[in-house]
Structure 1
Amino acid sequence: MSFADLGLSDELLRAVTDSGYTEPTPIQRQAIPSVLMGKDLIGIAQTGTGKTAAFVLPMIDILGEGRTRALMPRSLILEPTRELAAQVAENFEKYGTNHKLSMALLIGGVQMGDQVKALEKGVDVLIATPGRLMDLFGRGKILLTGCSLLVIDEADRMLDMGFIPDIEEICTKLPKNRQTLLFSATMPPVIKKLADKFLNDPKRVEVARPASANINITQRIVEVPGSAFAKREVLRMLLTQDDVQTGIIFCNRKTTVRELNKSLKKHGYRSAEIHGDMDQPARIAELERFKKGDVNILVASDVAARGLDIKGVSHVYNFDAPWHPDDYVHRIGRTGRAGATGIAYTLVAPDDAENIAEIEKLTGHKIERVKVAGGAAPRDTESPKRESGSRRRGGRKVEAEAEAPAERVIEAPKREPAPVRDAEPRRERGGRGRDRDDQHAPRRQSRAPQDEPDDGWNGPIPDFLNYTLGA
């Protein structure tokens, strides 16, 4: 089946073809015809399955047949984080190039002035995080009575972040006679109740989880001591052994991202970092360096785990075992995309056993364990710098052991550097305390770390997100 078989317009098909896509993914094949027919829809799918295009493409064709009115957007897309909202905006820009549609992006952490000006002109599609949308609505800057199409994306993530009450309130402010699309990776009881309340006889489509069904991703666990110093040694050994061309390393804390990137650079790796303390222009600049190949290793916090779509990522490394099992699914989903193969390593300390058990329960299979053969890696203070892109030879190897725990791990260093604490104060939220777009705190309070997890960024919106489609 091709995109032409789904009922999309010729203008939209040209934009899809120009973007390099020829065949729709399973979620796109199942969802697009139903959306075009005006039906409500529940889509059970993870990021990496093409679900964003599954609602963006038919929305562009639907909106192409109407006109906007000031302060009254014709459609609304709700996203849990600023990162995801920005990614959806980029999709509208890419696929809507042959349509004259206008758009406004409402996210927290930036000035409201430009957003209000865009609303006053009237927009075809509004892409928003719940906190900023509710704030603007409370200030009387927006009306939702003309919105005939609503998309609730990442509904289970909305639940994790405490947005469900806001979602319910937003739904009551839209016309009852509307089309509603709800996408979620899972369907816990709260989300099912939300769907039952606000969707009318929805069509349900479901695709397999990338973490459990994507046979293109080889998943491995490497057991290491709890020391960050020892983990860095093992990570460098893995990077060297596989001769990584393009890889993303995920950490749980902003502090760890900064320290790990500093360590990798010291040892000659071409690495960059992105995390929530960076403003948006700086973050975008680092991503561009990574996409162009100026750097081949990107150290990131979970603010980048959902929504990043970078072609050619061969390896993903979880330097920290993720606190949430869903985050594991989204992290490893950065590789093995569009039919390519990929490898995902997770460095596991002794106190990560519970987190790994939850991940294996979610994905439905036991992750392969590997053991480290040979003596301890060279110490940080003794490891010589090497040229960027060079490979240390004669090192140790990691040998796979299917379905079995590691028999031996590297020896913990005899001395460790003093831990680096994140002394930066927690930023206050704007917008009446409702702007919670980017919280990533663990669910279980007993597991909460002492250091602050990444919570997004607060920089200005870059120029490429301030646009009118088709202009």
Structure 2
Amino acid sequence: MKRGKNGKKKKSGGFQSMGLNYGVLKGVLRKGYKVPTPIQRKTIPLILDGKDVVAMARTGSGKTAAFLLPMLERLKTHSAQVGCRALVLSPTRELAIQTLKFAKEIGRFTALRYALILGGESIEAQFSTIHENPDIIIATPGRFLHLVIEMDLKLSLIEYVVFDEADRLFEMGFSEQLHEIIHRLPEAKQTLLFSATLPKLLIDFAKAGLHDPTLVRLDVDTKLSDQLKTAFLHMRPDDKLASLLYLLHNVIRSDQQTVVFTATKHHVEYIKEIVSQSGISTTYIYSSLDPTARKINAAKFTNKTANVLIVTDVAARGIDIPMLDNVVNYHFPAKPKLFVHRVGRVARAGRSGTAYSFVTAEEVPYMLDLYLFLGRPLVTANRQTADTDGIYGLFPPGLLHTEVDFIRCLHEKATELVDLHRVASNAYKQYSRSTPSPSAESVRRHKEMMRNDFKLATHPFLVEMVDSVEQTRMELLEGVKQYKPTTTIFEVGCKTKMAAVDVMKLKRQHHDQVIAAVTQKKQRESGNDTADKRKPQLQLNTWDGIESTFSAVIAPGHRKTNQKTFQDKTHYIPYSSTDQYSEKGLSLGEKSFDRQAAGEVLDLTTDENTEKVKQKQKKWDRKRKRFVHDDNSQRQKRIKTESGAFIPASYKTNVYEQWRDRHKVDAQQLGDKERPLPATARRRSLKGRVWHTKGDSSQSISRGISSKTKQKWANQKGKKRSELRPVDQILKRRRQVERTRQRHQSSKKRSKPQTAKKNRKR
């Protein structure tokens, strides 16, 4: 009632009309937000009403605030009762850190406590984090499940669960951890699924325990931002690195920030060395990099110490890089939705940006898959093309002479670069084997383009950089490529009476008939295609499966109808859905339900063959120096959880009990009143593992700290800390060193007479 009254008093269209409490609304306005985005305007009222929501919108549309604002509104303030009340699961550590930072900024006036649980961090510090009773836990699934099993945490007080980048959580192999976490959550909870892409059949997400969910889908028409400009550049594979250097030096301004996406971490290391030696400040991130190094490198790019960030697809999801200007797809992504996530790092929150994509002959079918997914026609560059957005054009190799010579000189001077290049080439071979194949439609279209002598002109934004001499040279080379001689090698310089000339004439007469037949067939097919294009396109209702899953669907232009359709079997022509390529790009790939169901085969002889295979599997034992039978069940111990599933035994060790005994910490019971931790156990958590917002930070952090230290902090409040030591500290340190040195000298003098007496006795 209070929220409804507050909403009626304010004008519609802003956050004031949503009826948020004063603390949440003040944090939003202090952050600078005034008008909600479309996804926020659609989802926040539904979430405030307590409904389960599956939200789908393009990247950069404000999904993080869409689930954080209702969460802060529901929790309101810190609870002294032991137990977490909200859980946010993220697929990557960078996305979790970003979510925590945003939650602290907009929830600074709510007195809530936040905890960040990430893999690769000290687990003992996370024990103390949980004991400080946070209200909201933002975590990655693997480490959070480890803490739940290790500490035997009860999650029955959780009332708000968010799966951020939900499809990525299932794709990254967190299915086992997610199902175990979901089983431990209470039934009376509100579940939210947020992502930039969702599959057509939401089977995997239905397992998350949604009750009567509502689907909010706002990316049906626009999958890319209107402020984003795209450029597709065709080139040879060997020219990619030189083209990247040319873009960074001549096209992209030096004050702009650029993210370069590559296929493997070996390419990241190799390209980083080349770009750094060309005089451009560069940093890098990939998944197997040390967590501390990843944090430092990300801070360098955020603080604009480095203007180029070279990454793998670890940074393609959900990461909000402020003031980013450009994205370069060094290797074209094999999946259309991965392209959407990559280029979604730019053109966010109303800002403009550019995405440059390098395309080789092998990657053209993947580019055609992207155009089918976006529902756009392929626009190629020609001399009359003036627009540069979404154009597929040629990167002139004549512009790269300087960069090619520079790279060659670097390879000649440093053998390490040659080794890095070799490792990256081998890694790309393995990467190409693991990527999915393009669709048959795209392969067919690519073959038609090659068969029809497809010509590609220079990309419009590079035309001004090509001088007239280079343009003439390119036209000459293109003419040489298109030249087809009318005679064969047997007829060159030969007289008409020679036998070779007569043989080729007879052969040409025979082939002329075949060529004429193929030409007529192509003309008939092209005529049929033209006739088919004139036919009206049939519309297919693709919402049937979605409406059977969700109680309500909110999408642009969607109206639910109950009209019965009549189908005449005699005159029925089967056809495919008009948006089949878009839905295929939105699917979960190999883990989708329809793909798994299609691959299931009933085999009555499976059991016997499986036992034979198990008996034949052996591994080399280094201690015994011989092959032994490899039994996975015996090699890896597993424990049974509350849900009845078996997980690795490494999730349950005695680390938590040892930590409690060492610091003398009592076990917390769910629902009890929170108690302060001992100073020894709280010392590590005060380094930043628990974040207290404005309201109770002075009460919680100041416990166990002396009054002298408090007075010192109060005096230093508002002052910038100096990096130079005061004079009294320097003198005090020198006196300590001098006393230590004198003490060591006196101890040596006392020990010398004793050793002399022992020698005389002997």
Instruction: Compute the TM-score of the two structures, normalised by the length of structure 1.
Output: 0.78
What is the root-mean-square deviation of aligned Cα atoms in Å?
Answer: 3.0
1:162 & 1:382 partners in 2: Cα distance? 42
Question: Which of 34, 40, 45 is residue 46 of structure 2 equivalent to?
Answer: 34
What is the number of equivalent residue pairs in this alignment? 407
1:219 to partner: Cα distance: 1.3
* Residues 218-270 of structure 1 deviation map (CA, whole Å, 9 limit, x = unaligned): 1121122223xx21111122223423322111112111112112111211122
TM-aligned CA distance change 1:190 to 1:81, over 3 Å: farther
**Is 1:116 the counterpart of 2:127 in the alignment?**
yes
CA contact (8 A) 2:283 2:297 kept: yes
Partner of 1:96: 107
Partner of 1:444: none
TM-aligned CA distance change 1:197 to 1:432, over 3 Å: closer
CA contact (8 A) 2:77 2:112 kept: no
Partner of 1:137: 148
* Residues 388-433 of structure 1 deviation map (CA, whole Å, 9 limit, x = unaligned): xxxxxxxxx84269xxxxxx89x9xxxxxxxxxxxxxxxxxxx949
CA contact (8 A) 1:155 1:191 kept: no
Partner of 2:16: 4
2:202 & 2:687 partners in 1: Cα distance? 35
* Residues 360-383 of structure 1 deviation map (CA, whole Å, 9 limit, x = unaligned): 333333453121236143244447
Question: Which of 252, 255, 263 is residue 243 of structure 1 equivalent to?
Answer: 252
- Structure with higher RCO (Cα < 8 A, 6+ apart): 1
* Alignment map for 1:48-447 (pairs within 5 Å): 48-65=60-77, 67-70=79-82, 72-188=83-199, 191-192=202-203, 194-195=205-206, 198-208=209-219, 212-227=223-238, 230-244=239-253, 245-365=256-376, 366=378, 367-373=390-396, 375=398, 376-382=400-406, 398-399=459-460, 432=648
1:317 to partner: Cα distance: 0.3
CA contact (8 A) 1:280 1:462 kept: no
TM-aligned CA distance change 1:322 to 1:131, over 3 Å: same
2:84 & 2:27 partners in 1: Cα distance? 24
* Residues 151-198 of structure 1 deviation map (CA, whole Å, 9 limit, x = unaligned): 122121122123234323322211111111112333326634533762
1:309 to partner: Cα distance: 1.5
Name the structure where helix makes up a greater proportion of residues: 2
> Match of 1:306, SS?
coil
TM-aligned CA distance change 1:465 to 1:287, over 3 Å: farther
1:398 & 1:461 partners in 2: Cα distance? 55
The residue type paired with residue 395 of structure 2 is V
1:55 to partner: Cα distance: 0.5
The residue type paired with residue 253 of structure 1 is T
1:466 & 1:361 partners in 2: Cα distance? 47
1:331 & 1:199 partners in 2: Cα distance? 29
CA contact (8 A) 1:82 1:129 kept: yes
Structure 2: which 5+ runs fail to align? Answer: 1-12, 379-389, 411-457, 463-473, 478-646, 652-683, 698-762
Which is further off, 158-167 or 18-27?
158-167
1:36 to partner: Cα distance: 1.7
Partner of 2:576: none
Which is further off, 357-366 or 150-159?
357-366
2:309 & 2:58 partners in 1: Cα distance? 22
CA contact (8 A) 1:210 1:329 kept: no
Question: Which of 689, 692, 705 is residue 468 of structure 1 equivalent to?
Answer: 692
1:181 & 1:234 partners in 2: Cα distance? 43
1:341 to partner: Cα distance: 1.4
1:304 & 1:369 partners in 2: Cα distance? 26
TM-aligned CA distance change 1:248 to 1:213, over 3 Å: closer
The residue type paired with residue 170 of structure 1 is I
1:278 & 1:51 partners in 2: Cα distance? 28
1:277 to partner: Cα distance: 3.9
* Residues 267-301 of structure 1 deviation map (CA, whole Å, 9 limit, x = unaligned): 11222222234333333333333233332222222
Which is further off, 265-274 or 144-153?
265-274
CA contact (8 A) 2:257 2:307 kept: yes
Partner of 1:391: none
CA contact (8 A) 2:234 2:358 kept: yes
2:209 & 2:15 partners in 1: Cα distance? 30
The residue type paired with residue 378 of structure 1 is T
1:468 to partner: Cα distance: 2.4
The residue type paired with residue 52 of structure 1 is T
TM-aligned CA distance change 1:210 to 1:248, over 3 Å: farther
CA contact (8 A) 1:75 1:124 kept: yes
* Residues 103-149 of structure 1 deviation map (CA, whole Å, 9 limit, x = unaligned): 22222222211112111222211112221222222224421111111
CA contact (8 A) 2:116 2:137 kept: yes
User: How high is the sequence identity, in percent, across the aligned residues?
Assistant: 31
* Residues 416-466 of structure 1 deviation map (CA, whole Å, 9 limit, x = unaligned): xxxxxxxxxxxxxxx94999xxxxxxxxxxxxxxxxxxxxxxxx9995564
1:434 & 1:130 partners in 2: Cα distance? 15
1:319 to partner: Cα distance: 0.9
> Match of 1:198, SS?
coil
2:115 & 2:138 partners in 1: Cα distance? 6
TM-aligned CA distance change 1:32 to 1:335, over 3 Å: same
2:265 & 2:34 partners in 1: Cα distance? 39
> Match of 2:88, SS?
strand
2:190 & 2:80 partners in 1: Cα distance? 17
TM-aligned CA distance change 1:463 to 1:335, over 3 Å: farther
> Match of 1:182, SS?
strand
2:395 & 2:338 partners in 1: Cα distance? 26
CA contact (8 A) 1:211 1:329 kept: no
Partner of 1:425: none
Which is further off, 461-470 or 91-100?
461-470
TM-aligned CA distance change 1:162 to 1:354, over 3 Å: farther
> Match of 1:255, SS?
helix
Choose 1 or 2 for highest CA Rg: 2
CA contact (8 A) 2:56 2:196 kept: yes
1:27 to partner: Cα distance: 0.9
The residue type paired with residue 169 of structure 2 is M
1:54 to partner: Cα distance: 0.4
1:16 to partner: Cα distance: 1.7
The residue type paired with residue 250 of structure 1 is F
1:159 & 1:334 partners in 2: Cα distance? 22
CA contact (8 A) 1:212 1:364 kept: no
